Amino acid sequence: MYTILVFTLIVLVGAYFAGLLGSLTGLGGGVVVIPLLTLGFGVDFHYAIGAALVASIATSSGSASAYVKEGITNIRLGMFLEIATTVGAVVGASIAIFLNSDIIAIIFGIVLIFTSVMSLRKKGIERHVEGSPLAKRLKLFGTYPTKEGMKSYNLTNVVPGFLVMLVAGATSGLLGIGSGALKVLAMDSAMKVPFKVSTTTSNFMIGVTAAASAVIYLQRGYIDPGIAFPIVIGVLMGSLSGAKLLKKIDVKVLRIIFTFAILAVAINMIYNGVLGKF
């Protein structure tokens, strides 16, 4: 009983910081939760992914609700792109069920490296974009609050952005992470959505994407309440704290430190996966 209590408390604390850092950096709690469970406690990758997916739902519910209330999130755009991420998530989760844990670890490490590199990129310069006809037809434009007041924006490249979202959804279902880097890449780089809007809209989408793939893991019995429950509570509390701190602190230094830490974890994942230690 003591061992179970210690395990629960450590996971709870780890999940809190995962949710906090995930909310502040936009990388998502899954990039911390999965290494914590697999490398720290030797939990099977499939069970770790199942717990991370449930945690992603909690993260989205926590931080995204605050961003929606502030009027930053583009709900219409998020719901449109969720069509792509949901389809991709179901496909990715269906594939992951049959993959060896070592293969998943290697893919996870590669995606983490990509995520780390993406998180260090400079924010796109927010400039006026003449919205594409398809974006206008779907009414995907919007406004968001700034220090100077509400600022309007348009977007373009709807189809390329939609296709990138398919890949992001598949990655989420396959690895149990929010794939925020791919989502932001699609909206910020391809569709020219303002960085702040793309980040918060990505948070809004994560929950639905994770829920779609979590059903597959639940059917296969890969969601263990003993693991998932403390993860959900910790990540939810951490994401709520992160959403409040985001408005008060400069996270640039934190983002750099966290990114290099995740890069080290990624290399460790690939190394152990190649040696077949999972």
Question: Exposed/middle/buried for 276, CB within 10 Å: 0-12, 13-18, 19+?
Answer: exposed
Domain ranges of the chain: 2-274
> Residue 276's pLDDT band (boundaries 50, 70, 90)?
confident
Residue 157 has pLDDT above 70, yes or no: yes
Question: Cβ–Cβ contacts within 10 Å for residue 7, how many?
Answer: 15
Whether residue 1 has pLDDT greater than 60: no
Per-residue confidence (pLDDT) for residue 76, from 0 to 100: 86
- The rounded mean pLDDT for the chain is 78
Query: Is 150 strand, coil or helix?
Result: strand
User: Alpha-carbon distance 92 to 266, whole Å?
Assistant: 20
**CA 37 to chain CA mean position, Å:** 17
Residue in the structure block whose two tokens are 């490490």: 109
Residues in the chain: 278
Contacts of 134 (CB under 8 A, 6+ apart): 158, 159
Q: Model confidence over 203-215: pLDDT tens digits?
A: 778 777 888 888 8
Q: Which residues contact 273 (CB under 8 A, 6 or more apart)?
A: 102, 103, 104, 105, 106, 108, 109
pLDDT band at residue 119, thresholds of 50, 70 and 90? low
> Residue 252 has what pLDDT?
66
pLDDT at 235 over 70: yes
